[in-house]
Homo-oligomer: A and B are copies of this chain.
């Protein structure tokens, strides 16, 4: 099994969490990503993946032990990058809940714009993970959700936010950001910064901020 760790986003601390180059996925994952995004995990064959990666079928199995392992590698890599960028975003601001909220939402929005298909696959193929892998993955996702909830709760305590139901609001914020991956297009009418500004406004409204 080859060493793919060079592609592991953890190794690249996303101190510049706002900048997105082209995703650095190994060929097989790249191919699997677009196939899963279009046809889903079960609708994609190893031959599809191999073809998209310019490999033969056994060539794919040289790198990954099974189709399931490809899915897992893909989803973990996505979640790793998301978490890494979220942490970097939070590390770049003060302790004020408002600032922390803004920067985290912005990071989520940008990720769901610029890693559209990754984010989409990661959220839609959880059920295709084996029980064990699913547990492992869900823990990562919950960690991300908790980051939002914690900030919203802190903001309620501090009086920066006014929602009576911080957890519901936090979930709505996450839903809003994740939803972006379902409709955003690079070539759409909305410029990234525009999108961020507008949706940050919506997110603030959800938590009863100013």
Shortest Cβ distance from A190 into B: residue: B168
Does residue A40 face the partner (Cβ distance < 8 Å to B)?
yes
CB < 8 Å neighbour of A127 from B38, B171, B172, B205 = B38
Report copies per complex: 4
CB < 8 Å neighbour of A40 from B42, B164, B179, B205 = B42
CB < 8 Å neighbour of A175 from B43, B179, B198 = B179
Chain B contacts of A168 at CB under 8 A?
Answer: 198-199, 202
Q: Are A40 and B198 in contact (CB-based, < 8 A)?
A: no
How many residues of A are in contact with the other chain, CB < 8 A? 26
CB < 8 Å neighbour of A172 from B38, B40, B202 = B202
Chain B contacts of A165 at CB under 8 A?
Answer: 198
Q: Are A40 and B127 in contact (CB-based, < 8 A)?
A: yes
Give the CA-CA distance A41 to B165 in the complex, in Å. Answer: 36
Interface residues of A in 159-200 (CB under 8 A from B): 164-165, 168-169, 171-172, 175-176, 179, 182-183, 198-199
Chain B contacts of A169 at CB under 8 A?
Answer: 202
Does residue A5 face the partner (Cβ distance < 8 Å to B)?
no
Interface residues of A in 24-66 (CB under 8 A from B): 38-43
Does residue A146 face the partner (Cβ distance < 8 Å to B)?
no
Give the CA-CA distance A199 to B40 in the complex, in Å. Answer: 31
Interface residues of A in 100-127 (CB under 8 A from B): 124, 127
Q: A: which residues have CB within 8 A of B?
A: 38-43, 124, 127-128, 164-165, 168-169, 171-172, 175-176, 179, 182-183, 198-199, 202, 205-206, 208
Can you list 28 A-B pairs, Cβ within 8 angstroms, ordered by A? A38-B127, A39-B42, A39-B127, A40-B40, A40-B41, A40-B42, A40-B127, A40-B128, A41-B42, A41-B43, A42-B42, A42-B43, A43-B128, A164-B198, A165-B198, A168-B202, A169-B202, A171-B183, A172-B176, A172-B179, A172-B202, A175-B175, A175-B179, A176-B176, A179-B179, A205-B205, A205-B206, A205-B208
